[in-house]
């Protein structure tokens, strides 16, 4: 078993997409739904939650980290790994940052 999560700016986009699925929902409900989804995504990518999972032997992967800033943030938060559309860029990043272990 493993957990995948997203960095916050990706989560906010996802939250808005989920909120806009049904245009008949009143704006106040959309706002509440957005806040709840944003809160959930924030909790899923919190360092404390990631540490909790890693302590129990559950790897945590972030998606989609397609630039160095996202990769750096994911590993600094404690990710076991990242999913990317650019594996060569990830390999170069890991060579430049040996402090992030390559493990599962």
Residue 15 tokens read as: 């939250």
- Residue 101 in any domain: the answer is no
68: containing domain: 3-96
**Long-range contacts (CB closer than 8 Å, 24 or more residues apart) made by 48-51:** 50/77, 50/78, 50/79, 51/78
Coil, strand or helix at 63:
strand
Number of domains making up the chain: 1
pLDDT digits (tens, 9 = 90+) for 39-50: 777 777 888 999
* pLDDT for 1: 52
Q: What is the arithmetic mean of pLDDT over 21-47?
A: 74
The model carries a pTM of 0.65
| Helix or strand holding residue 62 (H, E) | strand 60-63
Pairwise CA distance, residues 90 & 88, whole Å: 5
More confident residue, 17 or 41: 41
Arithmetic mean of pLDDT, 81-104: 88
> Residue 37 domain-assigned?
yes
CA distance 33 to 89: 35
Tell whether 104 is covered by a domain: no
């Amino acid at each position: 078993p493993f957990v995948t999560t997203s960095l916050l700016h990706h989560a906010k986009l996802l939250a808005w997409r989920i909120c806009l699925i049904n245009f008949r929902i009143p704006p106040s409900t959309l706002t509440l739904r957005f806040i709840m989804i944003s809160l959930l995504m924030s909790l899923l990518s919190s360092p404390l939650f990631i540490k909790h999972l890693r302590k129990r032997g559950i790897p945590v992967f972030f998606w989609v980290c397609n630039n160095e800033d996202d990769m750096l943030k994911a590993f600094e938060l404690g990710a076991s790994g990242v999913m990317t559309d650019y594996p060569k860029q990830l390999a170069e990043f890991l060579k430049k940052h040996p402090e992030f272990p390559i493990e599962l």
